[in-house]
Amino acid sequence: MTLKKTRILIVEDHPIFTLGMSELINQEKDLEVCGNAEDVNKAREIIHALRPDMVIVDLSLKESNGIDLVKELSRGDKKITVLVLSMHDEGLHAERCLLAGAMGYVMKHEASESVVTAIRRILSGNIYVSQNIMGKILNTFKSNPQSINQSPVHRLTDREIEIFRLIGNGFSSGEIATRLNVSVKTIGTHRERIKQKLSLKRGCELIKFAVLWVETGFFDPTETLQKDTGT
């Protein structure tokens, strides 16, 4: 009797990383990588054609946002489980991805050690995140169920988070517009909304906050503004 394998699609825009993940997964007798895509649009086509059992997706893709795909799959008629792989700080993004419908979150630098474990945990119907994140989530909700939304950055939408991260990585409004395939005016509107939500008044403050957030994972703009004004 032929063993039925779990078919997995990898959505990742770094070919070397995709190759490494594919080799790692294909070593398992009951798992196989059935395809790969570099962006969300291509992933949609492959999902429609191949109907994989699971999708492993990176958050940051060429001209697209992986979390959009997570949300789409969580709302789909045929349940396709999702594991997120990312280089970005799990302290913020893991919770956001779980809320969007993902069943797991693995940091890229830990992927070779934990991706197969994560896949098997998810296939058994459980959520997979690092012990640190699981402890944080449990402690947060135990002490104060509302506190998960108190960090200023948590006020941002998924698209605003993406733009905020790109600002912190040094991209101009024009470069961000090209990357996300929208107009510069649209990016300007997002920047203003981000400033309002984070209580920032000037564009330079937005850039400073974004850079520090990218570098540290969290930063309190109120503290910085107080230092800058000498209060």
Residue 2 banded pLDDT, cuts 50, 70, 90: low
Rounded-to-integer distance, Cα 89 and Cα 219, Å: 13
Rounded-to-integer distance, Cα 85 and Cα 144, Å: 28
Please give the pLDDT value at position 77: 60
Residue 3 banded pLDDT, cuts 50, 70, 90: confident
- Distances in Å between the Cα of 179 and the Cα atoms of 3, 127, 159 are 42, 32, 13
Close Cβ partners of 175 (under 8 Å, ≥ 6 residues apart): 166
- pLDDT tens for 59-71 read 888 777 888 899 8
Domain extents in the chain: 6-141, 151-229
- Residue 76, pLDDT > 90, answer no
Element housing 72 (H / E):
helix 66-75
- pLDDT tens for 151-199 read 677 788 888 988 998 888 888 899 999 989 999 999 999 999 999 988 8
Task: Provide φ and ψ at 60, rounded to 5°.
Answer: -105, 110
- pLDDT tens for 77-113 read 667 899 998 887 677 778 788 878 888 899 888 888 8
* CATH code at 151-229: 1.10.10.10
- In angstroms and rounded to an integer, the radius of gyration of the C-alpha atoms of the chain is 19
- Residue 149, pLDDT > 80, answer no
Element housing 138 (H / E):
helix 131-143
- Distances in Å between the Cα of 72 and the Cα atoms of 6, 11, 52, 100, 123 are 21, 14, 14, 9, 19
Q: Which CATH architecture has domain 6-141?
A: 3-Layer(aba) Sandwich (3.40)
- Residue located via tokens 């962006």: 39
Which amino acid belongs to residue 198? L
For 23-70, the DSSP string reads HHHHTSTTEEEEEEESSHHHHHHHHHHH--SEEEEESEETTEEHHHHH
For the chain, what percent of residues have pLDDT higher than 70? Answer: 81
Please give the pLDDT value at position 150: 54
- Residue 226, pLDDT > 50, answer no
Angle between helices 203-216 and 158-168 (to 10 degrees): 90
